[in-house]
Amino acid sequence: MDLIGGKCVRLTQGDFSRETIYSYDPLKTAKRFEAAGLNRLHMVDLDGARSGTPANLHVLKRVASGTSLNIDYGGGIKSETDVTAVFGAGASIVNIGSLAARQPEIFLGWVEKFGGDKMLLGADTKKGKVAIDGWQTDTKTPILAYLRKYAERGVNRAFVTDIASDGAMAGPSIKLYRKILGAVQEIDLIASGGVRSLDDIDELEKIGCAGVIIGRALYEQTIKLEDLAKYAG
């Protein structure tokens, strides 16, 4: 669930000028997910990712109090105060992207303080390199080296979004995920971007991904909510 201005949206390839609004009521949408048997919600504060401070905590609080979904939330989290606020608003897990790239010691400190099960590394990639700030800033850091570095420091799960695939409904980056799984076996990998069918999910599971994030395919119903119940766990 990507959020801009309190609405459920999707961006095509991370471009804020290519925004599609799918719902003006995130709680209603979350309740649909819950009713279908899902128990995990990945929530991204795109306003926060762009501005550098969480901007949709009111939405998180409303969804968390109105459902029993296990929510992981990220976007613009830069301080321990932000982390505490996100947990206070009802998230079970905080996902960290840009700060982990810029200030790894702070992120690792949070992993140690709050627990590895409470922190999730988010690594967005464009052409094999890490991208940050809501995909607006490119870095020169190769994604494989980045994940390997964190695996060596004890981080054991991450979600990786291939920006070229995200929101494009053109299929996930199977080749990229194979490379990651082969090079960084210590990390439970969650795939994100491009998933359009149950076949895509099955293929990602087959190659060894621990999970998958689905967005546009649900909103446009190329994947039916009821068909996902068998994957819920």
Catalytic residue among 2, 47, 82, 166: 2
Whether 124 is a known active-site residue: answer: yes
From the list 45, 72, 124, 166, the catalytic residue is 124
The SS3 of residue 146 is: helix
Spatial distance between the Cα atoms of 9 and 24, rounded to a whole number of angstroms = 9
162 catalytically annotated: no
* Nearest of 47, 65, 54 to residue 5 by alpha carbon: 47
The distance from CA 43 to its chain's CA centroid, rounded to whole angstroms, is 7
Closest CA to 162 of 150, 151, 152, 176: 176
Tokens 């199977």 sit on residue: 174
Looking at the annotation, which residues are catalytic? 2, 124
